[in-house]
Structure 1
Amino acid sequence: MDEEIKVAELFAGVGGFRLGLEGYCDDAKGWNLPSAGPYRTVWANQWEPGSDKRQFAARCYEARFGKGSLVNEDIAAVLDEYDAGQRAIPDVDIVVGGFPCQDYSVARPLSHADGIEGKKGVLWWSIYRFLRIQLAKSPDNAHWCLFENVDRLLKSPAKQRGRDFAVILSCLASLGYSVEWRVVNSAEYGFPQRRKRVYILAERNVQWDLKERLLHGAMASAFPMEAPEAVSYVDIPADPYVVSQSFNVGGKLSPFLDAGVMVGSKVITCKALEAYNGPRETLGDVLIPDVNVPEEFFVPESQREKWEYLKGSKKEKRTNKATGFEYSYSEGAMSFPDPTDRPSRTILTGEGGRGASRFKHVVQCADGRLRRLVPDELDQLQCFPKGWTDTGMTDGQRAFCMGNALVVGIPHLIGLEVAKEFSSKKGSE
C-alpha cells in the first residue's frame, strides 16, 4: 500500500462517504469538513436508473468534486466493459458504498465453475464482482470495505430471518474478509437526526479474537457501547448458496443483533446500548431564520386541516379500489409540528414538494405559522455542508438526494479508526 488510502466509492449519490473520509474545504462558501485520514477517492460510480433527467445526484457530485470525478453509468455495464478489456479501473485500498436492501437469493453454488451467482439486478452482486476484480489484480487491493444499509437488512426476509445478511457475510468470508458490523442511530452519537442504519466494516487477511474485537474493535471505538449483558454465537455456512437455501428457515427472529463480528464462518453478536457523553445536536440547531424561508415552504392555512388529519391518529374503514375489499385501518399520531429541541425524525426521499404528507417534517415559526424544511436544512440534517445540493436541482430533487444519503459524520468516525489501523500497520512494516 502507498501512504495514502485509495478509495472506490460505489453508488456514490452526492458523495456522503467521500465527504466523511476525505473531508472538504471551500473557503468561499465557508465549508471546512475535516478529513478522517489520508483518504483519496480515485474511482466513483453513480447511476440512477432511467433517463438523463434522473442523473441529478451525479451532476451534483461532479459539481462538487470536479468534472470526471465519477462514472455516471450502470455499474453492471461498467464491469462488463472491464471484463471485455474496454475499460480501466484503478487499484484501491478500500471499497465503500451504500446499496439497497433487496432479495439476495443465490442461484448458483460456490463450487460451480463461475462461482457464486445471485439474482440479476441486485446491486450487492456488483459490489461482490468489483471486489473480485480488485483481488484478481492484486491480493493487496481492497484490503478494507465499508458499506451502509437499512437496519432491516439484518432481519430480511420475513420467511427466513437474517438470510440476506448471512449471504453477504458468507460472500465476504469467501473472499477472505473478517467483518464487524454495527447498527447506529446517528442521534445517539450527537447528530441532529434519528437515522438508524447498519454499517459493515470488513478487513481482509486478519484473524481477530471474536469477543475482543466486538468489545474493542474499530466499531466499538467509533461508537462506544455499554458492556453487553449477553452475547450469542452463530455459524455461517461457507457457501452463500447453502445460506440462501437453508439459513434460519422458519426462524421467527434473526440471529443477528445490533453489533457483531465474523471471523471465518464464526459470528459473535449482541445487543448494543450506546455509551456516548459528548455534545448532542437537535433539529433546531440546523434551522435557518424564518425571514430567509421562501413563501412556498409555508403551510397555507387552508391546508392545515389536511396536514393535521395526515399526522393524526386514525382508526377507520377503508376500501381497496381494485378489489372492493373493505378493511380496518389504524395508525398512531405523529408529533405535529415536529419538536425542535430534539433530533429530527429520519428524513425520507419524499420530503420535497408542497403537498401535505404524513412523513414530511413541519416546524412552527415564532409567529405561529407552520412550514416545511428547506433543502439547506435537509443537507445539514445529513451533516452535509449547508447548500451542498444547491446545484440547479429542484426542491424535490434535493430532498430525494438527502433522503437517499447517509449522515456524513458516521463514516467519518469509522474512517478515523480505519486510518489508525492503517497507520499502525504501516509503522510495523
Structure 2
Amino acid sequence: MSIVSLFSGAMGLDIGLGQGISRQAAAGLGNLTELPELKVAVELDEAARSTITRNTSKDIHVFDNIQNISAQEIIEATGIKQGEYFLVSGGPPCQPFSTAGRRDSLNDPRGSLFMDYVRIVEGLKPRFFVMENVKGILSAAIKHRPISERGIGFPAISPEEMQGSAFQVILEELKSLNYSITYGLLNSADFGVPQKRERLIILGSRDGEGISLPQPTHGPTRLPLVTVRDAWLDLKDEKPEYPAYPQSRKKYLELVPMGGNWRSLPLELQEEAMGGAYKSGGGKVGFYRRLALDLPSPTVTTSPSQKATDMCHPTELRPISVREAARLQQFPDSWIFEGKMLDKYRQIGNAVPIGLGRAIGKSIMETVQGCNMPDRSKQQSQPSLF
C-alpha cells in the first residue's frame, strides 16, 4: 500500500487519501493524521517541507526538487521495487492554467513540471495514480492569442491556439503510460467539505481495473452541505493569526453584509472602492468579499487579505485567520504549519481539501476490493473530522 506524493505542499491530498485508503482510518481507529502508507514526499517549497517533516514520521523520505530526482533514487531510498508501489499522487504546479492568472502565459505541458510527474509514474509503475489540477486546465490553450487578434483580418486559429489543446497534450502523455484513464471535475462541497472548490481529478489504473471517480455524498437530495459555521463550531483560536486590514479597506468592508462583496456596497461607493478595477473585465467576486456562516465557503485563497482575493470574517472586520482557513480545508488542529504567516496561508490555500482526497481514496479502495459502486446518496453520514 506504499504511496509516493509529488508536489506535496502541506499534504492535504495525502492526509485525505491516507484516510480513504487506510483500513485503520476507515474503521475509526488510530490517529487520523497518521500516514503509515506514505513513503516519499517531494516538495520544493522550504516552508512546506518543514511542515511535512514537523507533522509526519521520520521514516518518510522527503525530497526537494522533483527535477533533480529520479525514479531509481526513490526505489533505492524506499527499498520498494518498480511495479510494487500502490499509488503516486500529486498536482503539478497549476498557476499557468488558473483562470485567476494571466491566460497569456500558458506553456506547452510537455515543457513543464507535469512531465516530471509523468517521468516518475513511468519509472515507478504504481498500480494507480491520482493527479489533480485546477478547472482552468480543461480550457487552456498551449498558445494564447488575444481576442483582439482573432477574427476577420487575422490568421485562422491554429490547433495549439484552440481551447483545451493543453489538456489534450496532458491526456496523450498520460495515456502513453499505458494506464486506463478516467477524469472529471469534482466540487469539494459535494463531498462534505465546507468549501466550494472545483478541482480536476485524473485517475489512472495500470492493470485495467475499473476505477471510478467518487460519487457526491452531499447536496440536493443527499446529505446537507457542510457550512462555515459547521467547520468552525468548536474551534478554539485564542490567538488568531491574521494580517490587519488598512483603514482604507475597513471603511468599505464594514458596509458589506455576510455573503456579500463589492456589489453589496452602495452604488455611489462602488467605483470609489474598486478604483481602477471597477472598469476591468471579469466578475471580480473576490473584491471586498465577506463569508457567510450558513453556506460553504468559496475557494480558500492563498492570500485571504488581498483586495482581489478577500475572505473577510463573517462577523468581524478582519480576514479569516490561519487556523480558520485550515478548518475550511479540513486540516486537523494538530497539523502545524511552518513558516511565516504568508507561508502558512499559501500552504493552506494551495492544498486539496482533505474530504475530497478521502473520497478519492475510498473510491480507489472500492476498486481494489472489487465492490460495485454504491449509491452514496442513500448512505448514512460518515464521521466528521471535527
Q: State whether TM-score is above 0.5.
A: yes
> Which residue of the other structure, out of 298, 312, 318, is the alignment partner of 1:345?
298
Work out whether residues 13 and 351 of structure 2, in 8 Å CA contact, stay in contact via their aligned partners in 1: no
Which amino acid is the alignment partner of residue 344 of structure 1? S
In structure 2, the partner of 1:64 is 55
Report the CA distance between 1:176 and its aligned residue. Answer: 0.9
Q: What does residue range 12-411 of structure 1 map to in structure 2 within 5 Å?
A: 12-23=8-19, 32-33=31-32, 40-48=37-45, 55-67=46-58, 69-79=60-70, 82=73, 90-91=80-81, 92-101=85-94, 102=96, 103=106, 105=108, 118-119=110-111, 122-134=112-124, 141-157=125-141, 159-206=161-208, 218-219=212-213, 222-224=214-216, 277-287=222-232, 292-294=238-240, 299=245, 303-305=249-251, 307=253, 311-313=261-263, 314=270, 328-329=279-280, 336-351=289-304, 357-365=307-315, 369-390=316-337, 392-411=338-357
* Structure 1: unaligned runs, 5 residues or longer: 49-54, 107-117, 135-140, 209-216, 226-272, 321-326
Report the CA distance between 1:162 and its aligned residue. Answer: 1.4
User: Which digits, 9 at most, give the CA deviation of each residue in 1:345-364, with x for residues without a partner?
Assistant: 1111112xxx6623221124
- Which one scores higher on RCO, CA 8 angstroms, separation ≥ 6? 2
Which amino acid is the alignment partner of residue 360 of structure 1? D
The two structures, once aligned, show a CA RMSD in angstroms of 3.8
Query: How many residues are treated as equivalent by the alignment?
Result: 320
Report the CA distance between 1:405 and its aligned residue. Answer: 0.4
* Structure 2: unaligned runs, 5 residues or longer: 97-105, 145-160, 264-269, 372-386
The CA distance in 2 between the partners of 1:186 and 1:347, in whole Å, is: 11
Change (3 A) 1:385 1:166: same
The CA distance in 1 between the partners of 2:2 and 2:325, in whole Å, is: 29
Work out whether residues 17 and 411 of structure 1, in 8 Å CA contact, stay in contact via their aligned partners in 2: yes
Which amino acid is the alignment partner of residue 32 of structure 2? L
Work out whether residues 322 and 341 of structure 2, in 8 Å CA contact, stay in contact via their aligned partners in 1: yes
Report the CA distance between 1:90 and its aligned residue. Answer: 3.6
Work out whether residues 10 and 44 of structure 1, in 8 Å CA contact, stay in contact via their aligned partners in 2: yes
Change (3 A) 1:89 1:15: farther
Which amino acid is the alignment partner of residue 149 of structure 1? N
The CA distance in 2 between the partners of 1:15 and 1:155, in whole Å, is: 27
The CA distance in 1 between the partners of 2:318 and 2:302, in whole Å, is: 18
Change (3 A) 1:300 1:344: same
- Percent identical across equivalent pairs? 24
Work out whether residues 179 and 203 of structure 1, in 8 Å CA contact, stay in contact via their aligned partners in 2: yes
Secondary structure in structure 1 of the residue aligned to 2:13: helix
The CA distance in 2 between the partners of 1:176 and 1:295, in whole Å, is: 47
The CA distance in 1 between the partners of 2:355 and 2:314, in whole Å, is: 27
Which structure is higher in helix share?
Answer: 2
The CA distance in 1 between the partners of 2:241 and 2:8, in whole Å, is: 33
